[in-house]
Structures are given as C-alpha cells and as structure tokens.
Amino acid sequence: MKVFFVYTTVSLLLFIISFSAYKFYPEHLNTILSISLVVQFIFLSIIYFNIIRSAKIKKLIIFGTFAYIVFWIYNFLKSSFTDLDTTPFAIECIFFMFLIVYYFYEIMRFNLDIQLYQLPSFWISVAFLINFSGTFILFLFSKPLLNDPEFANQNLVILSTITIIKNILFCIALTTTKKLINPKNHSTLPADLNLDSF
C-alpha cells in the first residue's frame, strides 16, 4: 500500500505537469507523456514484485523492467517528439495483464481464509486490468485516426470512463484492510483434508 500511495502521488503530479504542458507548452506534451509511461511501469513493477510470491515471476519482473527501460530509452532517443509512439504503452499493457492474471491465480491458490473482495491488492489489480485491457486496443489502433476530431471526442469519452472506473476501484481498495495470508500459516492443515465435508 505504501508503494501504491507513492505511485498515486507521482501519477497525480505527472497529470498536473501533463495538463500544464497541454495548456502552455504543447510541444513538450509527448515527452512528458512518454516519461510518465516509464515511471508508471517502474512503480507497477515494484507493486507486483512485492505482492507476487513466485521467485520465477519475480525474476521475470526484474528482467522485464530492465528490458522495458532499455527499449524505452532507445525508443525515446529515436522518436521525433511530434508523434506519440504507442508501442511502449502496448508492451506495458501486455506485460501487466499477464502479471495481473498470474496474481489472480496466486491468490486463488494460496488464499484460504479471506474473501477476495477484502484484499486491497485484488481491487487494485482489477482496476489496472480494466485500465490496461480497456486502453490497449484503443491506443494500438488509434494512431491513424488521431487527427480526426470525431474520433478524438469518442476517444476522450472512452478514456474518461475507464479512468473513472479505475479510480472508483482504487477507492474501494483503500477502504479494505485485509492482507493476503501467508501460506505458511496453513502448514497444519492435513494433506488429505476433504473440503466437501465443510
């Protein structure tokens, strides 16, 4: 939750900077959006590194974050700064959709005592999954249509709706207080336990 709080604070700061750039320095908007993308990737990697248990997936997160930063630097240096390249965003969406689905698998496997809706990390993951899956296709296929004013208005409505849903789910996450129980707490359960008897 501490990392999530820092992520939210930094996201708000980057939003204010992006909005200011949009109003006063539109030529720097793409640069700021590109920087905010890599900052978001790093913070989300830290969040999922802390809540996922598998050592192999943690290594994948470290490798994926390093590879993404290298790709982002290469893409940033070769970009023209006039067009927004959506390729890094598409990679980020695919990477985190995979991590979130794996995280859901882990909490269904290890969480025996707490309902999923009582876990803050569950609601945060649902919010990010909706955000990434809702915007992935939109950004992937929107590049040729960005100059169309009608598409820009529809795009704004879709992005605003997804953002509102994401923020509502974040608020729900902040009202829950449970944490995922460590599977070591269940080491006293018998191996031949018949769950049908409950």
Sign of the Cα pseudo-torsion (175, 180, 186, 187, in order):
negative
The percent of residues above 90 in pLDDT, for the chain, comes to 19
What does the alpha-carbon distance between residue 62 and residue 44 come to, in Å, rounded to a whole number?
A: 12
* Share of the chain residues as helix, strand and coil, in percent rounded to the nearest 5: 80, 0, 20
| pLDDT beyond 80 at 156 | no
| pLDDT beyond 90 at 16 | no
| pLDDT beyond 80 at 83 | no
pLDDT of residue 174: 81
Q: Which of 84-88, 115-119, 158-162, 182-186 has the lowest mean pLDDT?
A: 182-186
Question: How confident is the model over 17-45, as a mean pLDDT?
Answer: 75
Please indicate, yes or no, whether the overall pTM of this predicted structure exceeds 0.85. Answer: no
| pLDDT beyond 70 at 74 | yes
Which among 106, 100, 119, 97 is positioned nearest to 173, based on CA atoms? 119
What does the alpha-carbon distance between residue 83 and residue 121 come to, in Å, rounded to a whole number?
A: 35
- Neighbour count for residue 109 (Cβ, 10 Å): 10
Q: 168-183 pLDDT, tens per residue? A: 888 888 888 655 444 4
Domain boundaries, the chain: 2-180
When comparing pLDDT for 172 and 3, which is higher? 172
